[in-house]
Amino acid sequence: MSRAACLSLSAALALAVFLVDVLTPLEGAVAVLYVVAILIAAKTARRNDILAAAAGCIVLTVAAYLLSHDLKAIASPALRALVSLAAIGITTLLALQNRAATERLAAQARLFDASRIGVIEADWSGLRSALRALNVNRDNLADHLARNPDFVRQARPLAKITGVNPALQKMVGAKSLSDLMENPGRLLSEGDRSFPGALIAFGRGEPFYEGETELIGFDGRRVPVLFTITFPAAADGDDNVLAFVVDITERRQSQNALLAAQAELAHALRVATLGELTASIAHEVNQPLAAIVTDGEAGLRWLRRGTPNLDEVAAAITRIVGAGRRASDIVNRIKTFLQKKPAQPDTLQIAEIIAEAALLVERELSKDNITLMIETEPDLPPVRGDRVQLQQVLVNLMVNAGQAMSQQSGPRIVTLRAGATENGRLAVTVQDTGPGIAPDHLSRLFEPFFTTKRGGMGMGLAICRTTAEAHGGTLLAESAPGSGATFRLTLPVVQGNATP
């Protein structure tokens, strides 16, 4: 009904009540019916219309009383008039309060619609019934759901979507709310783990659940999102579960770009490190080549004897084959170290990683008269990670230690230790006898582009720490000026002592 129609109807009704009150002998509080006129005027949702209707009704009530009665005695007609005025006043107040509440709700609805945060309103009462039917203690719910994945699959359709805002519809490319309500489970992939987590939180009576997942758009796009699901108190029922969803596509793209840039820097660091270790590489490859020449000449001498000693020739050839394979392994390891390849996690023995890294830096350290000592506890558990990346971390730490001592006149010792920690992890420490690290430098040591070396890139230690954290470990530095520096790399071990 239009505003003009509402006001016309309200005025007509008020006039009708006035005429009945004045012209008929009815003794009841006919003027109370003015409240209907006020309620009709309130449908316009305008404050001035409500106040105008109320004022008109009050004037008509007083006028009707004055026309029908005198003021000499206050009797029942006066009381009925006062009751009518009170009813008009109360109705007007309630109409104004209702209008204010309606405006607040409208403002919230506009905010709900205009927000870039996706909002989903859902009814989880069906899920509550399904969880109760399981008759499982809330503390054991997670284990039960892990053992019964079919229940989780069957429970998904029970989370009925009752409303979404435009931001959510746009996020997933839905044309209407009905598209989402017909098949709410299609928003999540089969391998999604966010729903089981939310179901466990809901069953345990937690007030909310937060996480990160990917929504499957109606066009097949995967939309990475952060979400928070709020569960109402038990007294409020389960039909008003709200999920707030934030699209983090741009953030994910930025993270991927950052990881790609980090991989480029890691590759550049490997190339730079390899350039510094060229002499060591040449020395390492030269050893098996020299052995091949020596064993080949020995084999020829045994063949040229008057009576060839074929056993010695066979032994020489066997040594030649072994030396050739060793040279091939060295070249392949150097190529792998240099190549820009993604991480290849494997089960590794830390003693082998240390031995390979030590071979790479042996020549670099020996040219500065630096002694490398390796102390490895026996039977250490294996770790899981990328061989080249872990090798790069140790190479970088040992080269840094050697460079820190290259100009000092005292003992030059790099000690590399590997052992198990008290909390069941594996620790590798690289300790030097150099001048140590200044206290004001120690706190910034792992910051990107911070360096104390002339011509340094300032990325080596930053990448080393990132690599350690990517393997689930940590990299820390300790130093007292004048007492050398110690870098401590800790890594999680493979459970069950599996071997590579």
CATH number at residue 480: 3.30.565.10
DSSP, residue by residue, 346-359: EEE-HHHHHHHHHH
Q: Among 317, 342, 367, where does a domain finish?
A: 342
383 and 467 inside one domain: yes
List phi, psi (to 5°) of 51.
-65, -40
Q: Among 209, 228, 247, where does a domain finish?
A: 247
Spatial CB neighbours of 368, under 8 Å, sequence gap ≥ 6: 402, 405, 406, 412
List phi, psi (to 5°) of 158.
-75, -15
pLDDT in tens, the chain (500 residues): 678 888 888 888 888 888 887 777 765 566 678 888 888 888 888 888 888 888 888 888 888 877 776 655 556 777 777 888 888 888 888 888 888 887 776 666 555 555 578 888 888 888 888 888 888 888 888 888 888 888 888 888 888 888 888 888 888 888 777 777 766 667 777 667 788 888 888 988 888 999 888 888 887 888 888 889 998 876 567 888 888 888 888 888 887 787 777 777 777 766 666 665 565 566 556 667 877 888 889 889 988 888 888 888 898 898 888 778 877 876 776 666 656 566 668 899 999 999 888 877 776 787 788 899 999 999 899 999 988 788 878 988 998 888 888 888 888 899 999 999 888 899 999 999 988 888 888 878 888 777 776 656 566 788 788 889 988 999 999 987 777 899 999 999 987 644 43
**The predicted structure's pLDDT at residue 475:** 93
CA atoms within 13 A on the CB side of 121: 10
**Per-residue CA distances from 466 to 60, 115, 353, 470 (Å):** 82, 36, 18, 6
Domain range for 446: 345-500
CA distance 62 to 18: 10
103 and 139 inside one domain: no
393 and 351 inside one domain: yes
210 and 182 inside one domain: yes
What is the pTM assigned to this prediction?
0.42
String of b and e for 102-123 (b: at least 16 CB within 10 Å)?
eeeeeeeeeebeeeebbbbbbb
Instruction: For the chain, report the end-to-end CA distance as a whole number of angstroms.
Output: 80
278 and 363 inside one domain: no
Q: Among 60, 81, 114, where does a domain finish?
A: 114
350 and 499 inside one domain: yes
122 and 239 inside one domain: yes
CATH number at residue 154: 3.30.450.20
Q: In this structure, which amino acid lies at residue 44?
A: T
Spatial CB neighbours of 380, under 8 Å, sequence gap ≥ 6: 349, 350, 351, 418, 419, 420, 426
164 and 72 inside one domain: no
366 and 500 inside one domain: yes
353 and 486 inside one domain: yes
CA distance 289 to 41: 103
233 and 260 inside one domain: no
**The predicted structure's pLDDT at residue 106:** 64
383 and 475 inside one domain: yes
Number of domains within the chain:
4
